[in-house]
Structure 1
Amino acid sequence: MQRQRDGPMTSDRFEATYLIETPLDPAKVAEVMAGEQSSGTFTRVAGETDELRSRTRAVVTKVEALDTADTPSLPNAWLAKKGISGPWRRARIAISFPVDNVGANLATLASIVAGNLYDLGEVTGLRLDTITLPASFRSRFPLPTQGIAGTRKLTGVASGPLVGSIIKPNVGLSPSETAALVAKLCEAGLDFIKDDEISADPVHAPLAQRVPAVMEVVRRHKDRTGKAVMVAFNITDETDAMKRHADLVAREGGTCVMASLNWCGFSAIETLRRATDLALHGHRNGFGALSRHPLLGISFQAYQTLWRLAGIDHMHVHGLQGKFAQEDAEVVSSARDCVTPLSAGIDDRVLPAFSSGQWAGTAQPTWDAIGHDDLLFMAGGGILAHPGGPAAGVASIRQAWAAVADGTSLDAAARSHAELRQALDFFGKAAG
């Protein structure tokens, strides 16, 4: 079964696609979804004129049958009360929404494409998969202030991946201890250093003390070497506090702040974006709760679309052969999403941030999968645990990326690069 109607997306409508599971007719369920998220409800009501419906109602543009299942993915009391059982039919559907139902309102956009849909009685599974926006609608929202080009300019890295690391231990270090570690990481040759997502403004190292202490060593390093290392200070907090923290970072000469997107929320990130031109490093921690079930939540394409509309500059995608649950294919598609414009003719690409279990040996599969180096490649143990020390860890990663970009195997490159050889021998055994 495949039903489709209407032509391509127009400038006055945007489109969302979904995966659904239902024991009912998927086409009828799709119509329920369209009505629920626009001008209708489960039945026609007073005031719902034909003219109003034609102007504001969402329209189902595609219903594509997929497989069926013998058991439902999620429990459903509404279906149980009605005595409706399987088989449970799965389908991919597309719904077109009027732009004017939303306006330039990100929180409402999220409510429309998701919202109550997850609670519909007709479904035993629903996942928001993609969001596609016309350029005229996308232009109502902010573009990245720095994005890929701005981040390269701020760090002085004109080409190749930006090599970064994370401050570890992630909690417990005092401001002076944190600054001493940052000084070592700067000396190691990093382009980027970030706080961990669980270390923001702790009692033992408040940002009011930590930011000046860290930026003092960053400035000294720049005065001595000419290298401006970007530090992403985790300023996750309530909105007013984040604005104050960002102002402090800017006063101290910093270039980047980080926020935990899911816990701050769209409105807080939008307000922060308007308040600062610092690079905004978007950390997605908690995304697994929204994405790991294949028939629940939100896929990364739709997720990163919404956050890019909030104006972020960097987005985490995890890493290939990493320590988290995502398949490599998901990491790859996520990275590609970040560097794909949301609408034709608008450069709103953001820097994909690879992390989790990364080291010199994961440069090759990353290059093979995405074919470019417009990315942030962050390694913790892959740098700090290198047997030759942090500087050798950074060197091994740069050597690996230079080799793969040149079409040289890592083993061949390691014959003339001791740091890469050490990394392959040391980390390769653990990876194997």
Structure 2
Amino acid sequence: MSRVTAEYLLETPFPPAEVAATMAGEQSSGTFVRVAGETDELRARSAAEVLSVELLGESATPTLASAYLERKSVGGPYHLARVRIAYPTGNIGKNLATLASTVSGNLYDIGEITGLKLLSLDIPAAYRTRYALPAQGIAGTRTTTHVQGRPIFGTIIKPNVGMTPEDIAALVDRLCAAGVDFIKDDEVCANPDIAPIARRVPAVMSVIRKWQEKTGRQVMMAFNISDETDAMRRHADLVTAEGGSCVMASLNWCGLSGMETLRAHTPLAIHAHRNGFGAMSRHPRLGMGFQAYHALYRLAGIDHMHVHGIGGKFVDSAEEVTEAARACLGPLSEGGPDDRVMPAFSSGQWAGTLPATLKAAQGPDLMFMCGGGILAHPQGPEAGIASLHEAYDALSAGETLADAARTRPALAAAIDFFGKR
């Protein structure tokens, strides 16, 4: 029987094995009591199975309140356990929204639970093939950008909002001249009145086509098309018509179904922005971990996935960023298709954070995106991009950045400016 296995961190005042059984029943064939029609045959075919319950400790106070427990006057201690439950894929079919509902859904609302975090999902290879694959993934992104053997160096349009299409096109022109590989819109700039996408895409793509004719290289521009589904399809068609290669969407606000629809509609690379993920992930005993989160969106067919950055401006530890990057760089299912996606490192990145980033990714298959690290370089964006190349060349040659800075002026200026912040 084909089954998706979900791993959870569970907190409850009841015996965790009993609550795990409740979870399995709630999300498959059962409810809080056995009902008419719930035959032994049906349960054998469709019931979820608790595979393991590992006790991790207990605490005197609950993480979350529960009116259910208050009504029953149930108190601590509150047990912490790691629980694995297997759900038959026959219950779900090829239905990403229902898969997400099955492995999470009402579980967060069960009265006996005072803490629950979905940590990871194990997707069978045969079941994975029922869903979309990346249209470009790592190999296709490298082919499109003509970048092989090193990271893809990119930046973000700044200021975030407020620039006209002409302003943005002028900045893109300067970045293309400087040798950038990838540019993306900010997540809050999709279709603003000052720079509507109907004007912004043609203006920017005119510049990119100009540089493609000059150099033979096409800079990949991720246009933010986050919107309702029909609008996203129209915007993707505009990008295609203008010769573009990539679109960006905010996953949490467009949703799984929106991303599936977009993937089915366009062969463009989908740059997946996870803004808002912290609301799901930051609490240690509530929400969803990155591995489970990214697995769901990889089934929607994305090509690039944000993993934040090491030493950046966000809350993630180096270990969390490393775990996210390596999850993207591995197959979703053992024995399944090559569905690796390009991890996009962003958030306060500059040449000085490149060594730790390369170590995290265990190689150069990554997007290294520097907003301020390029655009705020004291010698200008051209030197910002040069500092990244100088840093990578030095690291590839076995040099430290400090030693390399003696003979590489753009890198030296970056270290002097960003290294003190």
Question: So what's the TM-score if we normalise by structure 1?
Answer: 0.96
Displaced runs of 4+ in structure 1, greater than 3 A? none
- Contact 2:325/2:360, CA 8 A, preserved across alignment: no
Q: Does 1:332 align with 2:307?
A: no
Greater shift, 36-45 or 340-349, is seen at 340-349
Greater shift, 28-37 or 418-427, is seen at 418-427
Counterparts of 1:406 and 1:79 in 2: how far apart (Å)?
61
Q: CA deviation at 1:368?
A: 2.6
- Contact 1:19/1:295, CA 8 A, preserved across alignment: yes
Q: Does 1:15 align with 2:5?
A: yes
Q: CA deviation at 1:370?
A: 2.9
**Among 83, 106, 119, which residue is 2:109 paired with?**
119
Q: CA deviation at 1:404?
A: 2.3
CA-based RMSD of the aligned residues comes to 0.9
Counterparts of 1:85 and 1:402 in 2: how far apart (Å)?
60
- Identify the residue that residue 380 of structure 1 maps to in structure 2: 371
- Contact 2:54/2:83, CA 8 A, preserved across alignment: yes
Report SS of the residue matched to 2:419. helix
Report SS of the residue matched to 1:89. strand
- Aligned residue runs from structure 1 range 41-120, under 5 A: 41-120=31-110
- Aligned residue runs from structure 1 range 347-362, under 5 A: 347-362=338-353
**Among 251, 264, 270, which residue is 1:274 paired with?**
264
- Identify the residue that residue 136 of structure 1 maps to in structure 2: 126
Q: CA deviation at 1:271?
A: 0.7
Counterparts of 1:402 and 1:14 in 2: how far apart (Å)?
43
- Aligned residue runs from structure 1 range 3-402, under 5 A: 12-345=2-335, 346-402=337-393
Counterparts of 2:89 and 2:396 in 1: how far apart (Å)?
42
Report SS of the residue matched to 1:317. strand
- Contact 1:167/1:196, CA 8 A, preserved across alignment: yes
- Identify the residue that residue 3 of structure 1 maps to in structure 2: none
Report SS of the residue matched to 1:211. helix
Counterparts of 1:207 and 1:386 in 2: how far apart (Å)?
28
Q: Deviations over 1:277-301 (max 9, x none)?
A: 0000000011011111011110000
- Contact 2:326/2:360, CA 8 A, preserved across alignment: no
Counterparts of 2:397 and 2:74 in 1: how far apart (Å)?
60
Q: Any stretches of 5+ residues in structure 2 without a counterpart?
A: none
- Identify the residue that residue 7 of structure 1 maps to in structure 2: none
Report SS of the residue matched to 1:429. coil
- Contact 1:301/1:337, CA 8 A, preserved across alignment: yes
Matched AA of 2:82: R
Q: Any stretches of 5+ residues in structure 1 without a counterpart?
A: 1-10
- Contact 1:22/1:88, CA 8 A, preserved across alignment: yes
- Identify the residue that residue 8 of structure 1 maps to in structure 2: none
Report SS of the residue matched to 1:265. helix
Question: So what's the TM-score if we normalise by structure 2?
Answer: 0.98
**Among 395, 408, 419, which residue is 2:399 paired with?**
408
Report SS of the residue matched to 1:168. coil
Counterparts of 2:420 and 2:344 in 1: how far apart (Å)?
25
Counterparts of 2:303 and 2:158 in 1: how far apart (Å)?
24
Counterparts of 1:225 and 1:133 in 2: how far apart (Å)?
43
